[in-house]
Amino acid sequence: MRDIAVYAVRRLFIGMFIVLVVSAILFSIMHMMPGDPIQLIDSTRLDQQTTEKLREKWGLDKPAVIQYLHWLGNLCKGDMGRSIVNGQSVTYLLAARLPFTLQITLAALLLQYFIAVPLGLLSGYYQGSAFDKIMIIITAVFRAIPYFWLGIILILFFSIYLKLLPVSGYRGFQSLIMPVLTLTLPALTATLQLTRSEVLEVLREKYVTTAVAKGLNQKMVILRHVLRNALIPVTVLFFLSVPWLIGGSVITETIFAWPGMGRLLWSSISSQDYPVVQGIILIISILTVISTTVGDILTGILDPRIRAEMEGKTV
Partner 1 sequence: MKQFLKVFRSADRNKTFIVGFVIILSICFTAAFADLIAPFAYDEIDVVHALKPPSIQHPLGTDHLGRDSFSRLVYGSRIALKVGVIAVVIQILVGVSLGLIAGFYGGWPDRIIIFFTDVIWSLPPIILAIAICTVLGPSLTNVIIAIAAVSWAQFTRIVRSKTQSLKNMPYAEAARAAGESNVNIIVLYILPNVFPVVIVLATLALPIAIINTTAMGFLGLGAQPPTPDWGVILANSMTYIHNAPWISIFPGLAIIYIVLGFNLLGEGLRDVLDPRLKI
Residue (121 or 250) nearer to partner 1, CB: 250
Write down the least CB distance from residue 152 to partner 1, Å.
5
Binding residues for partner 1 restricted to 153-172, rule: CB under 8 A: 153, 155-156, 160
Task: Find out whether 306 and 3 touch, Cβ atoms under 8 Å.
Answer: no
Q: Which residues contact 302 (CB under 8 A, 6 or more apart)?
A: 232, 235
CA angle (283 as vertex; 36, 38 as ends), nearest 5: 15
Tell whether residue 73 is a contact of partner 1 (CB under 8 A).
Answer: no
Among residues 284, 212, 272, which one has the least CA distance to residue 30? 272
Write down the least CB distance from residue 178 to partner 1, Å.
13
Alpha-carbon distances, residue 264 vs 91, 98, 241, 258, 269 (angstroms): 13, 10, 22, 10, 8
Tell whether residue 175 is a contact of partner 1 (CB under 8 A).
Answer: no
Tell whether residue 130 is a contact of partner 1 (CB under 8 A).
Answer: no
* Count, residues in the chain: 315
Q: Which of 5, 9, 25, 65 binds partner 1 (CB under 8 A)?
A: 25
d(C-alpha 129, C-alpha 210), whole Å: 25
Q: Which of 132, 143, 259, 311 binds partner 1 (CB under 8 A)?
A: 143
Q: Which residues contact 250 (CB under 8 A, 6 or more apart)?
A: 262, 263, 265, 266
How many other CB atoms are found less than 10 A from the CB of residue 17?
A: 11
Q: Which of 5, 6, 9, 21 binds partner 1 (CB under 8 A)?
A: 21
Using CB under 8 A, count the residues that bind partner 1.
48
Q: Which stretch binds partner 1 (CB under 8 A): 82-90, 104-112, 206-214, 266-274?
A: 266-274
Binding site for partner 1 (CB under 8 A): 14-15, 18-19, 21-22, 25-26, 29-30, 32-34, 140-141, 143-146, 148-150, 152-153, 155-156, 160, 197, 243-244, 246-248, 250-251, 254-255, 265-266, 269-270, 277, 281, 284-285, 288-289, 292
